[in-house]
Amino acid sequence: MIKLTGVSKVYGRGQAAVQALKDVTLEIKRNEFVAVMGPSGSGKSTFLSILGCLERPNGGEYCFDGRQVSSMSEDELAVLRNRRIGFIFQTFNLLPRFNILRNVELPLAYTDVPRKERRERAAALLTRVGLAHRLQHKPPELSGGEQQRVAIARALVTNPPLILADEPTGNLDSRTSHEIMAIFRELHKEGRTIIIVTHEPDIARYAGRILHFLDGTVVREEVTVQ
């Protein structure tokens, strides 16, 4: 699904330039569950942003499902992000003025899915993550774990084959973190490709492969025992 060849990313110019990624070459197969670890500033989040087509690399090639991302227009990238990739963030990124049903259905507003079906799909996903009784509640009325469940439902509403999660358990207690990771494990079993960034070794162990980043490059790969 994903192939990176010599991918680099530099922010700034001259003496202020910071190399976030340096000559990253790797492949991620369809239906892999991959965790990305490393100290702050090691390039993890930049790596995820490039995979999610939120940023373009300065050098190298990124192929998604056989297509070179660098050759895509901004409109093509927007469609790819909306329909093929689900994003989950540490800070949830929910809209506080909308109820959670509306939050989850929002990505479908940019598709040709009828409004009734959008609502039904959003409600079904919220039911799946255990929030059927909270559909009319707004994000500030929910716990951190509940908000992350909403974020997972929102990421799934377009039925994307790839899920990218940046520190999805970073703001959660231990028990809630493992409940969230159990949902990721179910999604992986259903055939989705999942890539998570985490600082927590016990969370990374849910993945089948761990990529260890340091100074903008992959210095070690680890296969876990499931």
Q: What is the pLDDT of residues 85-102, one digit of tens each?
A: 999 988 888 999 999 999
Q: What percent of the chain has pLDDT over 70?
A: 100
SS (H, E, C) the chain: CEEEEEEEEEECCHHHCEEEEEEEEEEECCCCEEEEECCCCCCHHHHHHHHCCCCCCCEEEEEECCEEHHHCCHHHHHHHHHHHEEEEECCCCCCCCCCHHHHHHHHHHHCCCCHHHHHHHHHHHHHHCCCHHHCCCCHHHCCHHHHHHHHHHHHHCCCCCEEEEECCCCCCCHHHHHHHHHHHHHHHHCCCEEEEECCCHHHHCCCCEEEEEECCEEEEEEECCC
Q: Which residue has the higher pLDDT, 90 or 144?
A: 144
Residue 80 has pLDDT above 70, yes or no: yes
